[in-house]
A and B are shown apart, each in its own frame.
Chain A
Amino acid sequence: MTERAMPGLWADRIFIALFAAYVLIPLGITALMAFSDDNIIRFPIRGWSLRWFEEFFSNRQWLTAALNSLKIAALTACLSILLAVPAAYGLSRSRKARNRLQVLLLLPLFVPAVVLGVSVAIGFGNVTLFGHALYGSSLLVACAHTLWALPLAITVLEPSFATLDRSLVEASGDLGASPLRSFLTVSLPLVSTGLVSATLFAFITSLNEFIMALFLTTRDSQTLPVLLWLSLRSSATPQLAVAAILLAASVFTAIGLAYGWYLLRRRRKRLSAPMI
């Protein structure tokens, strides 16, 4: 298509620059402020230091919160994948199931976190499991986060299973593999990209979420975003920027790792099959 067919090329470029600025401002400013030497958050930044990072890593409360976040995110990812893999496989194999159940499975995604948080808190507030109170436990928060992570994981996985080459699976069956064995050794490796993406989505969703966690955690189990929200008004030190940037950094690290895995796999595939 020729550029002439499109309205206002310059207006278009200015708009792109403005949008990029809009997207990058919150992250960029937080990254700058994290290295400030000042006692309060203000511009211009008068000096640079790592003191707020040191402060963060020597503060027990922040560290516990960060660990809680990682723990809950890992639990959410496991739970979502365990439930999403059979569900996505089932949906991709049965048109009837897909038409009827997909909406139901996606429903929690459209319910605000505040509603999910309140209802899970009310529904499971005084339930005990094996003598432990469920309320305030990492498991309950992970279950709540799975309500968002599971529909996402299914949405990512379902197309992978749907486009899977059926003849390979059938071939493994003809060669004597049980359905379970052919699923584990043929189908799953074929959808591994979808599998990693789904895990990543679930992990990030849980890591970033804080409204449900706010209603479901106690002082001991609160996550990093919850602690950030609770100290937003009480402390206006660059410590907030440090915690926020570490949160964003862990998200981008997870994406980087998944992408690295993807590149590695693609290269290995190319090396192992040079004739094709």
Chain B
Amino acid sequence: MMRRLIPAPSPAWLVLPALGFILLVFGVPLFHLLRMSFNTHPPDGIYELSWSLENYVKILTDPVNLHTIRDTVLLSLITAVVTVVVAFLFAHAVWKRKGRVHLVLLAIALCPMLVSEISVIIGWRMFFPSNGFLSYALVETGLVERKVNLLGTRFAAIVGLSYISVSYCFLTILSVMNAVDRDLITASGDLGASPWHTFFRVLVPLTMGGIIGAFTQAFVFSMGIYAAVNALGPDSLWSIGYEIQRQMLSKRDWPLASAFAVVLIVLISLTVIGLHALHSRRGQRHD
């Protein structure tokens, strides 16, 4: 029984390897990124060490760049609203069903999570163009006379974008819904509330935490995803992510790409902090 005399190490220490890994592969490079954003870009190289705000000034004053930021935020907002509404309605449909149907619907809702963004892009790129499936189906059934093209529209971009975050939103909302006391819904109906009234006045307020969480998720995801926007949306629709790729890989302007990345992180953090504050204020009021 000798080994019992050696005190077992505190379990908290076991977190250290993972923490160290994250600091090394996430923290340190992020620091490099921040430093890089203050460098300048010489015409004949990649970057030159300096401490200048040139890149940030360029991003925040150039109308093209401001346009890019506005487009990204706007598209992410619309996508987040659409995705949350769709995810909420489907979570509701899954929530009120039981048994085999419940499981099948659950599997369907989780499917998008397992599909690579690139497969999503390729799939929708075969659906939306004028020689794609949608146009063919519409012409064959006689619903339209001539071929239609929806590839390269904002609509296609939103469809692709929300496909990527819908499963996560669904899971967040469903887990909050599962915690709702079903008797409250029944009680509301028994007291004479119409189904619509029960839905909007009882179920929606009770699941508001999940709705805000899902909205945050969808917004954060959409802000960072640019491949789907670029491959499905119109050429005039720019996104911060694509601008980072273009500056980094095509123009070899690492400092500007880094500054864009910093701006993206700041925008995302501000949103998360803002929505979190909103959520906790609501929580206090209700308590």
Residues in A lying within 8 Å of B, measured CB to CB = 1-2, 4-8, 12, 15-16, 19-20, 22-27, 29-30, 33, 41-44, 82-84, 86-87, 89-94, 96-97, 101, 104-105, 107-108, 110-116, 118-124, 143-144, 146-147, 150, 154, 173, 176, 178-179, 204, 207-211, 214-215, 225, 228-229, 232, 240-241, 244-245, 247-248, 251-252, 255
Give 20 pairs: A residue, B residue, CB < 8 Å, sorted on A: A1-B182, A2-B189, A5-B198, A30-B123, A30-B126, A33-B126, A43-B131, A82-B17, A83-B21, A84-B18, A97-B15, A104-B22, A105-B19, A105-B22, A115-B261, A123-B30, A144-B25, A150-B21, A208-B115, A248-B115
From A26, A30, A123, give the contact of B29 (CB < 8 A): A123
10 nearest A-B pairs in the assembled complex, by CB-CB distance: A112-B224, A26-B123, A123-B29, A90-B14, A93-B11, A208-B116, A87-B18, A43-B136, A97-B12, A7-B195
B8–A179 touching, CB < 8 Å: yes
B133–A6 touching, CB < 8 Å: no
B226–A86 touching, CB < 8 Å: no
B108–A20 touching, CB < 8 Å: yes
Whether B59 sits at the interface, judged by CB under 8 Å, is no
Instruction: Give CA–CA (A140, B19) in the complex, Å.
Output: 18
Chain B binding surface SS class: helix
**Interface size range of chain B in the complex:** 35 or more
The chain A residue with its CB closest to the CB of B32 is A123
B199–A244 touching, CB < 8 Å: no
Residues in B lying within 8 Å of A, measured CB to CB = 1, 3-4, 8, 10-15, 17-19, 21-22, 25-26, 28-33, 36, 86, 89-90, 93, 96, 105, 108-109, 111-112, 114-127, 131-133, 135-137, 159, 163, 182, 185-186, 189, 194-196, 198-199, 220, 223-227, 231, 241, 244-245, 248-249, 254, 257-258, 261, 264-265, 268, 272
Instruction: Give CA–CA (A101, B196) in the complex, Å.
Output: 43
Instruction: Give CA–CA (A144, B21) in the complex, Å.
Output: 10
A122–B115 touching, CB < 8 Å: no
A122–B19 touching, CB < 8 Å: no
A210–B111 touching, CB < 8 Å: no
A113 to chain B, nearest CB (A): 7
User: Could you say which residues of chain B place their CB within 8 Å of the CB of A108?
Assistant: 22, 26
B264–A232 touching, CB < 8 Å: no
B265–A111 touching, CB < 8 Å: yes
A5–B25 touching, CB < 8 Å: no
A94–B10 touching, CB < 8 Å: yes
User: Could you say which residues of chain B place their CB within 8 Å of the CB of A207?
Assistant: 116
Instruction: Give CA–CA (A108, B254) in the complex, Å.
Output: 21
Known contacts A113-B224, A120-B29, A154-B18; A30 and B119 CB within 8 A of each other = yes
B248–A215 touching, CB < 8 Å: yes
User: Could you say which residues of chain B place their CB within 8 Å of the CB of A93?
Assistant: 11-12
A268 to chain B, nearest CB (A): 23
User: Could you say which residues of chain A place their CB within 8 Å of the CB of B14?
Assistant: 86-87, 89-90
From A23, A123, A124, A146, give the contact of B109 (CB < 8 A): A23
Instruction: Give CA–CA (A229, B257) in the complex, Å.
Output: 20
A44–B122 touching, CB < 8 Å: no
Instruction: Give CA–CA (A207, B112) in the complex, Å.
Output: 15
Instruction: Give CA–CA (A30, B124) in the complex, Å.
Output: 9
The chain B residue with its CB closest to the CB of A227 is B118
Instruction: Give CA–CA (A170, B195) in the complex, Å.
Output: 53
The chain A residue with its CB closest to the CB of B15 is A90
The chain B residue with its CB closest to the CB of A109 is B220
**Given A23-B112, A41-B131, A112-B223: 20 more A-B contacts, CB < 8 Å:** A5-B189, A19-B108, A43-B135, A87-B15, A87-B18, A93-B12, A111-B26, A112-B225, A114-B226, A114-B241, A114-B244, A115-B224, A116-B26, A122-B254, A123-B31, A176-B1, A207-B116, A225-B117, A228-B118, A232-B231
A255–B21 touching, CB < 8 Å: no
Instruction: Give CA–CA (A52, B194) in the complex, Å.
Output: 56
A5–B163 touching, CB < 8 Å: no
B143 to chain A, nearest CB (A): 15
Instruction: Give CA–CA (A104, B30) in the complex, Å.
Output: 14
The chain B residue with its CB closest to the CB of A243 is B122
Instruction: Give CA–CA (A131, B227) in the complex, Å.
Output: 35
